[in-house]
């Protein structure tokens, strides 16, 4: 696509207001809700930043766009998950159908409105985009992608048939990367009402697995060690990547579960070693190092892995940090026996329980558009992993005074309260708050969840009991959790209708591992 076309598509119309003599927009007084922009026709996001200068405007704009894109990602994940039932579809298909949650979204034709309140010294931003505009935009992209992928796959097949193996491998690798981006865009467009049509070439229905099979037939490179897997991944990624790239890496996950493992940590270490010993045009910097040295990473190294027969298929992608576009991708397969011999776990031992908890937490989730709740740890929001002895820090931000409750779901299924009725007053609204908690990672280890609930009224006290897990004392909830969820959510809905009580929930998944 030509740069001039991109500029037109990304044109942003800005409407700037000030607090002097101009009435506040409805979306400011209603905390991001405006009847002009209905949920059925628009995606929208709202944010407030301290200050009235250009920096504050940029921060509020970025946060509003992030909230808008987050809503779309949540819709995509929820939609794809709802199409799958465990009784009929295997875990491989489940993960094949769900969009990569780590992918950022660069949305076209996003409109912005600003309101600068000089009296309160804050800048409000409202981002919105019409769903029909998104639909038209993505339909054009998909049409171009389909044609390009089909043509390149045909040339790759012709190269292989004529014995031009090196050319065939390079072209199939390009097809793999392009198809990964096609799947990402297709997930968005399918939600917007566009149909998903398979791409067929030379009798093959293209998929990431079928494309990788073509590459493996030509390369014939069996994997006998972690080091070999890392080197092969780097070689394949480099053949598609354009020029030198500075990358930051994030933990790889088991499928699209958001849960990572000790296996992921070891694999990334091997990739870093492979890059160091080769004269690679790719380099990885740690996020902390990048900030201290003011290095600006251009892309993110991310990925996931899932069983395929007797192997563990590892899919790795280089994703632009600015647009979310997949720049290159590759897949290798490691024999499961090799991983078992190394004594590494590639998924949390309580994985099935974690999936069940995720379904329970998602059902009837408290979502109130008038209350905004952000929550993150010192390592971020996604793909979180902590080792025994580490001390996580929890941060939150809300857009109005609330009471906050934080429940921790342990790997063994027990639930404990970290904070109950922690009040965030008016003076702390729209500020990032470090919560007064002293935490340390101890047993039990596995997939765990932090549940944040904010509401405008104080919480009723919970029945608790004391119990030891591996000689560590916990105060856990005595009530049956399913009954608790049903009871509290039902009451909140009724109270909200009568007394205008606002509620919001957020969840952070993490994995804890033994040192």
Cis peptide before 212 (omega within 30 of 0): no
The span from the first CA to the last CA of the chain, in angstroms, equals 49
pLDDT tens digit at each of 515 positions of the chain: 333 333 333 333 344 444 445 688 999 888 788 889 988 889 888 888 889 999 999 988 888 887 887 777 655 555 444 443 333 333 333 333 333 433 455 566 688 999 999 988 889 999 998 888 888 888 898 999 999 999 999 999 999 999 999 999 999 999 999 999 998 888 777 777 777 788 888 778 899 989 999 999 998 877 888 889 999 999 999 888 878 888 888 889 888 777 888 888 889 999 988 888 877 888 887 766 656 667 778 888 989 899 988 999 999 999 887 777 889 999 999 999 988 888 888 887 777 676 666 665 555 444 445 678 889 898 888 888 899 999 999 999 888 899 999 999 988 888 899 999 999 998 888 788 899 998 999 988 888 999 999 988 898 888 888 888 888 888 888 876 666 665 555 444 444 444 567 788 888 989 898 88
The answer to whether 510 and 350 have CB atoms below 8 angstroms apart is no
State the pairing for strand pair 433-434/472-477: unpaired
The span from the CA of 239 to the CA of 359, in Å, is 40
pLDDT confidence of residue 146? 93
Q: What's residue 364's pLDDT?
A: 47
Tell me, what's the pLDDT at 196? 76
The values of phi and psi at residue 397, to 5°, are: -150, 135
Helices (H), 287-350: 287-293, 336-341
Integer Cα distance of 410 and 449 in angstroms: 7
- H helix or E strand, kind and range, residue 430: none
Q: CB under 8 Å to 133, separation ≥6 — which residues? A: 108, 109
Element (H, E) at 187: helix 165-191
Task: Please report the pLDDT score of residue 249 as a whole number.
Answer: 86
Map residue 392 onto helix, strand or coil: coil
Residue (of 6, 41, 245) closest to 132 by Cα position:
41
Is the separation of the CB atoms in 281 and 235 below 8 Å? no
Distances (CA, A) of 508 to 78, 270, 379, 456: 16, 28, 11, 22
Q: What is the dihedral of CA 319, 325, 329, 334, to 10 degrees?
A: 60
Tell me how far the alpha carbon of residue 421 is from its chain's centroid.
29
Answer whether 74's CB lies under 8 Å from 122's CB.
no
pLDDT of residue 120: 84
Q: Which domains does the chain have, with CATH numbers?
A: 1-193 (no CATH), 221-347 (3.40.50.10610), 351-513 (2.60.40.2550)
Task: Concatenate the DSSP letters of all residues of 220-276 into one string.
Answer: -----SHHHHHHHHHHHHHHH--S-EEEEE---EETTSS---HHHHHHHHHHHHHHH
Contacts for 254 with CB less than 8 Å, ≥ 6 apart: 260, 261, 304, 305, 306, 346, 347, 348, 351
Pair of tokens at residue 375: 């929550």
- Pairing status of strand 111-117 against strand 122-130: antiparallel
Sign of CA dihedral 277, 269, 182, 167: positive
β partners of residue 391: none
Interhelix angle 54-82/165-191, nearest 10 degrees? 90
Of 413, 419, 450, the closest CA to residue 437 belongs to 419
Residues contacting 396, CB < 8 A, separation 6+: 373, 374, 375, 404, 424, 432, 433, 435, 452, 454
Q: How large is the C-alpha radius of gyration of the chain?
A: 24
Please name the residue that has the structure tokens 């939609």: 79
């Amino acid at each position: 696509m030509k740069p001039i076309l991109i500029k037109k598509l990304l044109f942003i119309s800005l409407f700037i207001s000030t607090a002097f003599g101009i009435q506040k927009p409805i979306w400011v007084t209603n905390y991001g809700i405006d009847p002009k922009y209905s949920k059925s026709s628009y995606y929208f996001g709202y944010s407030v930043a301290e200050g009235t200068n250009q920096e504050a405007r940029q921060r509020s704009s970025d946060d509003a766009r992030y909230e808008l894109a987050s809503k779309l990602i949540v819709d995509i994940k929820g939609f794809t998950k709802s199409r799958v039932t465990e009784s009929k579809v295997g875990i491989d298909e489940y993960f094949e159908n769900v969009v990569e949650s780590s992918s950022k979204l660069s949305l076209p034709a996003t409109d912005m409105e600003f309101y600068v309140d000089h009296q309160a010294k804050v800048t409000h931003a409202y981002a919105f985009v019409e769903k029909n505009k998104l639909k038209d935009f993505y339909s054009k992209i998909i049409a171009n992608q389909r044609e390009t992928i089909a043509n390149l796959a045909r040339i790759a097949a012709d190269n292989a048939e004529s014995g031009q193996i090196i050319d065939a491998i390079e072209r199939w690798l390009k097809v793999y990367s392009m198809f990964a981006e096609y799947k990402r865009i297709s997930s968005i467009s399918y939600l917007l009402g566009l149909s998903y049509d398979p791409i067929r070439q030379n009798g093959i229905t293209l998929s990431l697995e079928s494309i990788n099979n073509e590459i493996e037939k030509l390369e014939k490179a069996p994997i006998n060690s972690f080091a070999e897997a890392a080197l092969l991944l780097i070689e394949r990624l480099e053949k598609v990547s354009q020029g030198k790239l500075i990358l930051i890496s994030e933990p790889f996950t088991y499928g699209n579960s958001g849960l990572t493992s000790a296996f992921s940590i070891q694999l990334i270490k091997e990739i870093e070693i492979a890059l160091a010993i080769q004269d690679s045009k790719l380099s990885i910097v740690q996020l902390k190092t990048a900030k201290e040295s003011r290095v600006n990473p251009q892309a993110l190294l991310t990925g996931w892995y899932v069983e395929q027969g007797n192997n563990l298929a590892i899919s790795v992608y280089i994703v632009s940090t600015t647009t979310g576009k997949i720049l290159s991708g590759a897949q290798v397969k490691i024999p499961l026996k090799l991983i078992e011999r190394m004594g590494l776990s590639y998924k949390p031992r309580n994985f099935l329980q974690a999936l069940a908890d995720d379904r329970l937490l998602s059902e009837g989730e408290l979502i109130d558009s008038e209350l905004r709740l952000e929550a993150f740890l010192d390592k971020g929001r996604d793909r979180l992993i902590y080792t025994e002895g580490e001390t996580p820090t929890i941060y939150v931000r809300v857009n109005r005074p609330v009471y906050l409750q934080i429940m921790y779901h342990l790997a063994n299924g027990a639930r404990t309260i970290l904070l109950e009725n922690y009040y965030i007053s008016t003076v702390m609204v729209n500020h990032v708050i470090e919560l007064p908690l002293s935490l340390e990672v101890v047993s039990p280890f596995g997939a765990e969840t932090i549940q944040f609930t904010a509401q405008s009224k104080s919480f009723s006290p919970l029945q608790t009991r004391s119990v030891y897990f591996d000689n560590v004392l916990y105060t856990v909830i005595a009530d049956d959790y399913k009954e608790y969820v049903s009871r509290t959510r039902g009451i909140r809905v009724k109270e909200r209708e009568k007394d205008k009580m606002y509620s919001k929930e957020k969840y952070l998944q993490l994995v804890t591992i033994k040192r």
